[in-house]
A and B are shown apart, each in its own frame.
Chain A
Amino acid sequence: MSLLFPISVNFISICALLIGLFILFSNKRSSVNRTIFLVDFATFLWLYSYSIMYTTADYDRALSFMKIGFPGVIFIPVFFYHFVLAFLEIKSSVSRVLLYLFYGISALTTVFLYGSNYIASGLYTYHWGFYPKAGKFFPVFLIYFLTVFNFCISYLFFYYKTRKLQISQRRLLQVKYLFLAFFVTAFTLTDWLPWFGIKCLPLGYIFIFMYISITAYAIVRHQLMEIEVVIRRTVVFAGLLASVFTILVLPTLLLQEYIFRAASAGGRLLGLTLSGVIIILSLRRIENFLINITDKYLFQKKYDYRELLRTFTSEVLTVVNLDKLVNLTVDKLMYIVKIDSSAVLLLNEEKQQFDVVAFRNVKDPEVSLLRPDGIVTFLEQTHGYLLKKELADRKVYIPPSIQEIIDKLNAELIIPMVLHAEVKGILSLGKKKSDEDYTQDDLDILLPLARTLAIAISNAKLFDELGKTQAEAAQNEKMAVIGTLSAGINHEICNPLGIARGQCEAFLLNMKDGLYNNKSPKELLIKAKEIMTKVMKETDRATAITKKLSSFAKPAKGEAELVNIDKEIDDVLGLVGYELKLEKIEFEKQIEKGLPDIFVDKKQLQEVLFNLIRNAGQAIDEKGKITVTAKQDAGRVAIDIKDTGSGIPENKLKELFNPFFTTKEPGKGTGLGLFIVRQVVEKNGGRIHLKETKMGEGTTFTVEFPVTAGQKNRV
């Protein structure tokens, strides 16, 4: 008989112990878990001792191992009975009395086992090894054994029959699993046959293993992580280890058997040494390999959680754009938790309702959860989660309106995003693609995650508002600036129109007053043509400035394009030029020949130039010069705006780019200018810095933009 039989018995005994321990430690306080551990431990004791009994050649040794192991079998029924009482929460005095009675009988049987031959009268020798021989009272024990199990099955059956309609789906399922376990266990009855001299390989351990797995599954499922993962993990890990071990040992055996047979003892030694070396050399690697393999395929869930946390902390929670944040949240949840739908709902303070702001595979994204809605009230009051399956299990009545919302969201799990004891948003998760239920492990990760998300979302909201405020401020400032430019604007629009009108008026009055009477029709036509050309020129001038102005006043679109700096400087000058002229400020432009276009938002560049040139102008008290230089330097286009103004005092340099900082006299600036200029420059991939400033001599600012690849010189 090969070693396969005792080794597999031994292996399963260890599995039983591990599963028992796992159940025990998963909830030490539960009497259900404690009693099922006792059953598993008894099973371990039995199978482990028997596996040694099967391998030993020594009768006495085998007998003593039988005596260590068999008490396990003796106590299995009472432990199981105890478990059933705990599981079904039966507390009747009769059942209690019976429990103590059974414990007494099992103990007494053990005493008999040790002190007499009544239970086991010796050992049979079968082809698989030693096996106990039934003593005189053994059948009595067998009857006791079956009776106790009969009690158990009756309790379960009675419970199922009478409480079927009251208990939750989960519990019903657990009972069903237990029935299945019993059914499987019935096969172990064949293990009793060899006690009576019938040569039947005791394969009951296989069914015992199935029974242990099923009970463990029934107990632990819905409470903790999926037990099948644990079982599979244990089985596959041990299985792989065993098979690798076999592969390693096999060549040694073959070597021994066929090649070194003649050499007998020496060859055997060589074979052993060889396999020993191989094992020592490769064990570490095999171990690592196995750990990797099992980790990869069986611990995937754990990995996912780690990935979930890693992804959220590094990629999602750091996002400050609200829209991006919520969409990433939904995507990553879908991808990592592997669910078929997901949505984020945020509180709309105005309407006092939660609206869907990001979603995937939601039936109706238009759904809104009003504050007084059942779900919201529940979440706000409990800060707990809402698990659809749990509601169904508990047979909680769900009003149709709430059912409708859950359906529309395609939600399986609804988690509040709580911040400062307030529900700021709601996370809706759909069914897992694996069809598995959400477990406590999931919730342990997802609930804190939702809370962290609440913080990130509130941050992003603040950022959004800040951005909006800044954009508004920039726009307001721009409008204010345009307002103060009214003189220039008046000049640039009204004057051309006034001139055009004057030309027409002069022509008409000259005609009326007969001043053209001595002119021939041809001369008159030439005169009219001359006037019309002038009129057209003036109206064109007015139109151009209007266009510039309206384009400047519009908020920027934020779209980059290739922009010619020279032209933009001219356009800006069209707006500020007259003001500068009035202030007796000379303006000079030095554009390097062949300067490449830059890839920026055109209007934002105008804003930047406008602000800097206007600032330069305001820095000049009386007469002076502004020089704008643009040249290419080390892959960048640098624009210098230099003035001969008053300069910036050294103690103000630090605050230069702060919002609301200004050196201008009240009414001349809100102070947002440079702050916004820098933001706009940076948004366009550029930078701005103060190149130099000297009190009484002037200031130079430099704005740089990259000349990106693929955009060559214009010339």
Chain B
Amino acid sequence: MLREGHEVSCLDEDPESHARLEVGLDKGWEDLGGQFTVGAGLETDALVAAGIENADAFIASTDGDNTNIVIAQIAQRRYEVPTVIARILDPLRAEWYERQGLRTVCPTRVAIDMLESAVREGAPRGGAGPSDGSAEAA
């Protein structure tokens, strides 16, 4: 998104994560206009330092579902960010929070769908059918 010319700000607890941002870039993250803040997503100070007050979009994609759901709601309710998206691994909760008005991306759901279609594509001719379930389980 940075390459497309958007202003992108990353917030991460681990200062080392900054190096990962620069993998594959020919210039430094900041040189390209990116911003990087070290801090926890639940800390109001860190969110503000990362620029949440002026953000047009906010993506909560830490490795914890619960953290993502909480921060996303903070972004929605306290900072009124127009577009808020949360990564939720648990399909059931992703579905429920989606219905509550939170935009969610569920990688588990996406992976299940992809794996399922991969199995169907790989199945022998005429074999796509009920047997798919057992192939997936295997």
Instruction: Decide whether A and B are members of one complex.
Output: no
- Please give the residue numbers on chain A whose beta carbons come within 8 Å of chain B beta carbons, in ascending order: none
B residues sitting closer than 8 Å to A (CB atoms) are none
